[in-house]
Structure 1
Amino acid sequence: MSREYPIIAVTGSSGAGTTTVEAAFERMFTRQGIQAAFVHGDSFHKYTRDQLAQILAENPQQSDSLSHFAVEANLLDKLELLFHEYAAKGTGTYRHYIHAEDKDMLEAGYQVGTFTPWQPLPENTDLLLYEGLHGGLVTQEYNIAHYVDLLVGVAPSVNLEWIQKIDRDTKMRGYSQEAVIDTILGRMTDYVRYILPQFSRTHINFQRVPTVDTSNPFEQHEVPSDAESFVVIRFRESQRIDFPYLLAMIQDSFMSRPHTLVIPGAKMSLAMEMILGPLVQDLLDNRRFR
Structure 2
Amino acid sequence: MSVKHPIIAITGSSGAGTTTVTRTFQQIFRREGVTAAIVEGDSFHRYDRKEMRAKMKEAQENNQPDFSHFGPEANLFEELEDLFRHYGETGQGRVRKYLHDDKEAEPYGQEPGTFTDWETLPADTDILFYEGLHGCVKTDRVDVSRHVDLRIGVVPIVNLEWIQKIHRDRNMRGYSQEAVVDTILRRMPDYVKYICPQFSLTDVNFQRVPTVDTSNPFVARDIPSSDESMLVIRFANPKGIDFPYLLAMLKDSFMSRPNTIVCPGDKMALAMQLIFTPMIWQLMDRKKKAF
| TM-score in same-fold range (> 0.5) | yes
SS at match of 2:135: coil
- Cα separation, 1, equivalents of 2:63 and 2:107: 34
Tell me whether 1:229 sits opposite 2:229 in the alignment.
yes
Tell me whether 1:195 sits opposite 2:195 in the alignment.
yes
SS at match of 1:67: coil
The equivalent of 1:25 in structure 2 is 25
- Cα separation, 1, equivalents of 2:244 and 2:132: 32
Change (3 A) 1:62 1:221: farther
The equivalent of 2:267 in structure 1 is 267
- Cα separation, 2, equivalents of 1:163 and 1:96: 27
Matches within 5 A, 1:232-243: 232-243=232-243
> Residues 166 and 181 of structure 1 are in contact (CA less than 8 Å); yes or no, is this contact kept in structure 2?
yes
> Residues 59 and 65 of structure 2 are in contact (CA less than 8 Å); yes or no, is this contact kept in structure 1?
no
Change (3 A) 1:224 1:267: same
- Cα separation, 2, equivalents of 1:97 and 1:104: 9
> Residues 56 and 62 of structure 1 are in contact (CA less than 8 Å); yes or no, is this contact kept in structure 2?
no
- Cα separation, 1, equivalents of 2:63 and 2:16: 25
> Residues 5 and 87 of structure 1 are in contact (CA less than 8 Å); yes or no, is this contact kept in structure 2?
yes
- Cα separation, 2, equivalents of 1:212 and 1:110: 43
The runs of at least 4 consecutive aligned structure 1 residues that moved more than 3 Å come to none
The equivalent of 1:70 in structure 2 is 71
> Residues 152 and 203 of structure 1 are in contact (CA less than 8 Å); yes or no, is this contact kept in structure 2?
yes
Tell me whether 1:79 sits opposite 2:80 in the alignment.
yes
The equivalent of 1:125 in structure 2 is 125
Give the drift of 1:189. Answer: 0.1
When the two structures are superposed, what TM-score results if normalisation uses the length of structure 1? Answer: 0.97
The equivalent of 2:213 in structure 1 is 213
Alpha-carbon deviations, 1:17-72, whole Å to 9, x = none?
Answer: 11111111100000011000000111000011111111222331455232110011
Change (3 A) 1:206 1:62: farther
When the two structures are superposed, what TM-score results if normalisation uses the length of structure 2? Answer: 0.96
Give the drift of 1:172. Answer: 1.2
The equivalent of 1:279 in structure 2 is 279
> Residues 9 and 151 of structure 1 are in contact (CA less than 8 Å); yes or no, is this contact kept in structure 2?
yes
> Residues 94 and 119 of structure 1 are in contact (CA less than 8 Å); yes or no, is this contact kept in structure 2?
yes
The equivalent of 2:4 in structure 1 is 4
> Residues 134 and 195 of structure 1 are in contact (CA less than 8 Å); yes or no, is this contact kept in structure 2?
yes
Alpha-carbon deviations, 1:125-161, whole Å to 9, x = none?
Answer: 0000000111111111001001000000000000000
- Ranges in structure 2 where 5+ consecutive residues have no aligned partner: none
Deviates more, 1:51-60 or 1:191-200: 51-60
The equivalent of 2:100 in structure 1 is 99
> Residues 64 and 187 of structure 1 are in contact (CA less than 8 Å); yes or no, is this contact kept in structure 2?
no
Instruction: Report how many residues are paired.
Output: 289
- Which amino acid in structure 2 is aligned with residue 245 of structure 1? Y
- Cα separation, 1, equivalents of 2:72 and 2:149: 22
Give the drift of 1:109. Answer: 2.3
- Cα separation, 2, equivalents of 1:238 and 1:179: 42
Change (3 A) 1:62 1:68: farther
The equivalent of 1:143 in structure 2 is 143
The equivalent of 2:254 in structure 1 is 254
- Which amino acid in structure 2 is aligned with residue 204 of structure 1? V
The equivalent of 2:176 in structure 1 is 176
> Residues 252 and 263 of structure 1 are in contact (CA less than 8 Å); yes or no, is this contact kept in structure 2?
yes
> Residues 63 and 186 of structure 1 are in contact (CA less than 8 Å); yes or no, is this contact kept in structure 2?
no
> Residues 11 and 132 of structure 2 are in contact (CA less than 8 Å); yes or no, is this contact kept in structure 1?
yes
RMSD: 1.3
- Cα separation, 2, equivalents of 1:75 and 1:113: 17
The equivalent of 1:41 in structure 2 is 41
Give the drift of 1:76. Answer: 1.1
- Cα separation, 2, equivalents of 1:244 and 1:182: 45
- Cα separation, 2, equivalents of 1:204 and 1:244: 18
> Residues 2 and 283 of structure 1 are in contact (CA less than 8 Å); yes or no, is this contact kept in structure 2?
no
- Cα separation, 2, equivalents of 1:178 and 1:113: 21
Give the drift of 1:246. Answer: 0.5
The equivalent of 2:109 in structure 1 is 109
Give the drift of 1:167. Answer: 1.0
Change (3 A) 1:41 1:207: same
SS at match of 1:129: strand
Identity %: 56
